[in-house]
Amino acid sequence: MKNKGLIVGLIASVSLVGCGGGGGGSSTPSSTSPFSGSGIYVNTADLAVMVVDSSRSANNLVVGDFANNGVYFTDSAITTEKQMKTKGVTYADASSFLKSSSQEMTANFTGNSVSLTAVFNGSNLAYSMDKTSDSLQLSEIVGTHTNLSDGSTWTINADSSFTVNGICTITGTLVRNGAYFNVNNANAVSCAQASMNGTYSGVFLTVKHGGIDYVAGLLGNDTSLLWGSAPKS
């Protein structure tokens, strides 16, 4: 695979999408020494985003490739101060779903930059990104944000609850966790594919692109991933 940018909801044409597949599990991450790389990373040239957090119980590194309409959720990680090695991944795009408990990726951190490398599905992956600002505060994103391309709406309330209406109707609660918002036990119903109905966990974040703030979400469980975005109203 050629070097590709990973984007998470940076353009309004990206719709709330998802894909389901087979089951699997994840393991608990551990840390071998203090880690300094947690945060949100972007590559503005390639429209790329990566969420890194060594403190999460799972999914310590999450990336999205909206050029190919795909998302990667890693299972677990071990860290040193300047490196994160992940094991296990769940990947989905608009037409396929892959879960591997043995897939490894390596993220190396230098200053405010990260490089992620892996051999994935027989091809090389290589991404370079720079650290960006933390997500906006909850009070700054309260309201309804609409993706005009697909008609999906993202409503965020002052009590931290949210509702996304798109390929599914998703309800849940945002919990601030450093640079982003954590989402646990969000409920997806009325999905385009009934098999995708269920409980999801993941992340919400905001990213600025072209002078516009976007609200983005990436959610997953053992059998499906959901992702999308909308420009901040």
pLDDT tens readout for residues 33-54 = 689 999 999 877 676 789 999 9
Domain boundary among 131, 151, 182: 131
Q: Could you list the residue range(s) of the whole structural domain that residue 175 is in? A: 138-231
State residue 211's pLDDT score.
86
Q: Is the CB of residue 227 less than 8 Å from the CB of residue 215?
A: no
> What is the distance between the alpha carbons of residues 118 and 121, in angstroms, rounded to a whole number?
10
In a domain, 76, yes or no: yes
Does the structure show a pLDDT above 90 at 220? yes
State residue 27's pLDDT score.
44
Residues 24, 101 within the same domain: yes
Q: Which residue has the higher pLDDT, 66 or 212?
A: 212
Question: What are the helix (H) ranges across 51-178?
Answer: 138-141
Handedness of CA 6, 182, 37, 99 (dihedral sign): negative
In what helix (H) or strand (E) does residue 224 lie, and over which residues does it extend? strand 224-231
Please give the structure tokens belonging to residue 25. Answer: 């599990």
Residue 205 vs residues 1, 64, 77, 128, 225: alpha-carbon distances, Å: 27, 13, 21, 20, 16
In a domain, 182, yes or no: yes
In a domain, 4, yes or no: no
How many domains does the chain divide into? 2
Mean pLDDT of 150-173: 98
In a domain, 32, yes or no: yes
Does the structure show a pLDDT above 90 at 147? yes
Mean pLDDT of 201-215: 90
State residue 4's pLDDT score.
34
State residue 5's pLDDT score.
32
Domain boundary among 74, 96, 131: 131
Does the structure show a pLDDT above 60 at 10? no
Residues 126, 144 within the same domain: no
> What is the distance between the alpha carbons of residues 145 and 143, in angstroms, rounded to a whole number?
7
Residues 120, 142 within the same domain: no
pTM for this prediction: 0.83
Residues 119, 179 within the same domain: no
In a domain, 8, yes or no: no
- Per-residue pLDDT band for 3 (boundaries 50, 70, 90) equals very low
Domain boundary among 131, 150, 173: 131
In a domain, 156, yes or no: yes
